[in-house]
Amino acid sequence: MKTIFTVIFLTIFSTFSQAQYQSLFGENSTLWNMSVWQWGILEAQPHLTVYYAGNDTLINGQTYKKISPSNYNLSTSYLREDTVEGKAWVTYQNSALNLGETEELLIMDLSLEVGDTFVVSDGHHLPDGYFSPVVDSVYYHEGRKHIRLDFEYNLWNFPGDKLTMIEGVGTNIGTFYQPFLIQPIDYYTLCQTKDGDTLSYVNNSPYFLGRCDVSAVGVDERQKPAYNLHIFPNPANEKIVIEGVNDLVLDKNEGLVLTVSDVTGRLVHHEKVAFFPCELEIAEWPKGLYIITVGNIAIGKFLKN
């Protein structure tokens, strides 16, 4: 009896002592703000699409979350995860990208180590139907494990980020990039929100500057701003001071429009500015991350406590 009890205890202890990765899903809701470039439908221009996790769906004996886009032109996917192993799979049952009755594709594996390979399906365009980039980095950022592959994902002609798996989020190009070449669409994960107002992840790409909206790519959508704004104090409670645009630029443009938006892209404030430094009263604004743009030449961000 003691032997049986010991075996049972050790089995239970071993199970609960395994690494428990953060879930991709919140307790009640999960949203991903995605920058989407959909060739041939929206004139190859980036736009914001929000994907949200819906009800549990049983497919072939496995429980998935239905992932639906706000843009009806895009496909619904189904996502499931294993938080013990740090893995996640996608399938497209009952959608335009149906892979078959049983096929699902692994989109994340947090157990990978440097030098391991990961299979990326290409929708059977290549002779083998896949390619296998190598893991070149494993690191932690803001408490999340990251697995980076030596595979550069070119985003709208920008120098590409490498495909990176992010604990609790998915990847920097979404949870539905597999199969890679079957969709004429470019994706980028801007941010993730769990359980209402809890912003659980914001990208750190220099092209988005921590925004949840595609307009942060730059003023003309293809160029980095000429100036970075200096905003202080940062974080702030009552008032911020903004500087970083020189007088020559202001004289040439006879003043510039300053806009402030939150991480969802909602316009919070705008005014015409004739000189710098300038001040903004923010005491009545909700807490959160804000992005300031000045004309088409400068951008910056600050946190309201």
Residue 77's DSSP bridge partners are 67
Confidence grade of residue 287 (pLDDT, cut at 50, 70, 90): confident
Q: Which long-range contacts (C-beta less than 8 Å, at least 24 apart) are formed by 170-175?
A: 170/24, 170/32, 170/88, 170/107, 170/108, 171/107, 171/108, 172/203, 172/205, 174/32, 174/34, 174/51, 175/24, 175/32, 175/67, 175/77, 175/79, 175/88, 175/90, 175/107, 175/108
Q: What is the mean pLDDT of residues 227-237?
A: 85
Q: In the predicted model, what is the mean pLDDT of the chain?
A: 76
User: What does the pLDDT read at residue 274?
Assistant: 79
270, pLDDT greater than 90: no
User: Of 14-23, 36-45, 146-155, 262-271, which gets the smallest average pLDDT?
Assistant: 36-45
Of all residues in the chain, what percent carry a pLDDT higher than 70?
A: 65
Model confidence over 31-59: pLDDT tens digits? 898 887 755 444 445 677 788 898 899 98
**What whole-number distance in Å separates Cα of residue 225 and Cα of residue 68?**
33
Burial of 212 (0-12, 13-18, 19+ CB in 10 A): buried
Return the number of other C-beta atoms located less than 10 Å from residue 38's C-beta: 20
More confident site: 66 or 103: 66
More confident site: 265 or 277: 277
**What whole-number distance in Å separates Cα of residue 231 and Cα of residue 241?**
6
Return the number of other C-beta atoms located less than 10 Å from residue 260's C-beta: 21
Model confidence over 121-180: pLDDT tens digits? 765 444 566 788 999 999 998 899 999 998 877 555 455 678 899 999 999 888 877 775
Of all residues in the chain, what percent carry a pLDDT higher than 90?
A: 24
267, pLDDT greater than 70: yes
218, pLDDT greater than 50: no
All domains of the chain, ordered by start, with CATH? 30-215 (no CATH), 227-304 (2.60.40.3080)
